[in-house]
């Protein structure tokens, strides 16, 4: 069975990947204690011992606001560790699947970003993730980078679960209504990843994986289909939860501008991302955000 080295399984995307990728091979999922992404030497040692066919890396320094005051740590995990994955994968002829973010863009305009659009992060987190993308590409390893956005699911720490909890406790809530993007269900992202590995493996049937990989190299946008705002996302979640629990009183929600909710790190106002490349290359369209919110609320 192919060995798949999977990071970050205590996180949202990693947990979903652990389930989705299980049919593809033997999943080796070290926690931070076994492979600290802040420690390149221990990473190299671990990777060489496992010698995986695939490295799938959803682990990241994801504390967007905290990154403003601890950039070294953010860059260690989001850039340097990603470079190590690339270098080691190159040695092994393994493929790397890495996850990145809408925060690599400055959020200007109102059109969905394409993979070819210029980047311009406005936060340390965004800049460190962009540096990771570039570091991985520069290693020469076969790689695919999935830029996603607004990830949530039925478990883990995420916006939807926080809103649903607070909406049970409060009378009113104010939610930012001028940042535009799409929520992405962790399970949909994980299923897409499984599809891509299958697809690439099929293209490697008559050759070595390392020879098949370069044709798929690059960045792909992989966010939920459609668009909304944080206020729209919260409203839909609360509406669906209230439908299922008619006896419970939920807070009434109001939209506010970003300026009324200052945070240490700036967020892009436009996080819309075009899924056209993903569909064209791998035949995968990410689930519509409303459809996935319905699935998740049903599962709670
Ligand atoms: N969540 C979003 O809304 C969002 C949006 C756009 C892009 N993304 C990207 O999607 C990917 C997955 O995000 P997520 O939401 O699943 O993140 P998450 O829930 O915050 O999980 C992050 C994971 O990374 C691990 N990690 C962090 N530092 C580590 C270290 N030094 N050594 C080993 N493991 C470490 C964490 O382990 P511990 O439990 O030990 O801390 C955890 O398992 C990331 O690349 C993120 O940048 C996320």
pLDDT in tens, the chain (300 residues): 799 999 999 999 999 999 999 999 999 999 999 999 999 999 999 999 999 999 999 999 999 999 999 999 999 999 999 999 999 999 999 999 999 999 999 999 999 999 999 999 999 999 999 999 999 999 999 999 999 999 999 998 999 999 999 999 999 999 999 999 999 999 999 999 999 999 999 999 999 999 999 999 999 999 999 999 999 999 999 999 999 999 999 999 999 999 999 999 999 999 999 999 999 999 999 999 999 999 999 999
Within 10 angstroms of residue 270's Cβ, the number of other Cβ atoms is: 20
Q: How far is the CA of 158 from the centre of ligand 1 (A)?
A: 12
The CATH number given to 3-157+184-226+267-287 is 3.40.50.720
Q: Which atom of ligand 1 is nearest to the CA of 13?
A: 16
Give the whole-angstrom CA distance, residue 284 versus residue 296: 20
The helix or strand, by DSSP H or E, that contains position 4, with its residue range, turns out to be strand 3-6
User: In the annotation, is 61 catalytic?
Assistant: no
Residue 61 in contact with ligand 1 by CB distance below 6 A: yes
- 125 contacts: CB under 8 Å, gap ≥ 6: 61, 62, 63, 64, 67, 74, 78, 101, 103, 265
Q: How far is the CA of 247 from the centre of ligand 1 (A)?
A: 36
Q: How far is the CA of 9 from the centre of ligand 1 (A)?
A: 9
Q: How far is the CA of 170 from the centre of ligand 1 (A)?
A: 29
Residue 12 in contact with ligand 1 by CB distance below 6 A: yes
Three-class secondary structure of residue 106 per DSSP: coil
pLDDT at residue 1, as a whole number? 75
Residue 295 in contact with ligand 1 by CB distance below 6 A: no
Residue 268 in contact with ligand 1 by CB distance below 6 A: no
Domain ranges of the chain: 3-157+184-226+267-287
The pTM of this model reads 0.97
Q: How far is the CA of 36 from the centre of ligand 1 (A)?
A: 13
Residue 32 in contact with ligand 1 by CB distance below 6 A: yes
Give the whole-angstrom CA distance, residue 116 versus residue 7: 28
Q: Which atom of ligand 1 is nearest to the CA of 36?
A: 32
Strand partners of residue 175: 255
Residue 10 in contact with ligand 1 by CB distance below 6 A: yes
Classify residue 135 as exposed, middle or buried by CB count within 10 Å of its CB (0-12, 13-18, 19+): buried
Give the whole-angstrom CA distance, residue 233 versus residue 121: 24
Q: Which of 125, 152, 220, 261 is catalytic?
A: 125
Mutational test site, ligand 1, from 8, 29, 76, 186, max ligand atoms within 8 Å of CB: 8
């Amino acid at each position: 069975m192919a060995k798949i080295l999977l990071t970050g399984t205590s996180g949202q995307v990693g947990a979903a990947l652990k389930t989705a990728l299980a049919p593809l091979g033997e999943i080796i999922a070290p926690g931070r204690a076994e492979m600290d992404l802040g420690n390149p030497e221990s990473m190299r040692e671990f990777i060489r011992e496992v010698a995986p066919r695939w490295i799938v890396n959803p682990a990241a320094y994801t504390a967007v606001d905290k990154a403003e005051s601890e950039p070294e740590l953010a860059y260690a995990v989001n850039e340097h560790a990603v470079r190590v994955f690339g270098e080691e994968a190159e040695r092994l002829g393994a493929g790397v699947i890495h996850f990145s973010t809408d925060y690599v863009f400055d959020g200007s305009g109102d059109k969905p970003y394409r993979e070819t659009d210029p980047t311009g992060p406005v936060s340390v987190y965004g800049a460190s993730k962009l540096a990771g993308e570039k570091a991985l590409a520069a290693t020469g390893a076969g790689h695919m980078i999935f830029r996603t956005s607004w990830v949530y699911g039925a478990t883990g720490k995420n916006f939807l679960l926080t809103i649903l909890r607070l909406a049970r406790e409060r009378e009113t809530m104010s939610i930012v209504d001028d940042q535009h993007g799409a929520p992405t269900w962790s399970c949909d992202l994980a299923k897409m990843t499984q599809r891509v590995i299958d697809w690439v493996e099929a293209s490697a049937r008559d050759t070595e994986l390392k020879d098949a990989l370069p044709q798929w190299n690059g960045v792909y946008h992989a966010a939920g289909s459609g668009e909304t705002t944080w206020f729209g996302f919260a409203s839909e979640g609360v509406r669906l939860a209230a439908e299922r629990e008619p006896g419970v009183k939920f807070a009434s929600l109001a939209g506010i501008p970003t300026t009324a909710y200052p945070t240490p790190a700036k967020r892009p106002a436009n996080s819309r991302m075009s899924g056209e490349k993903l569909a064209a290359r791998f035949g995968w369209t990410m689930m519509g955000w409303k459809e996935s919110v319905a699935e998740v609320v049903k599962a709670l």
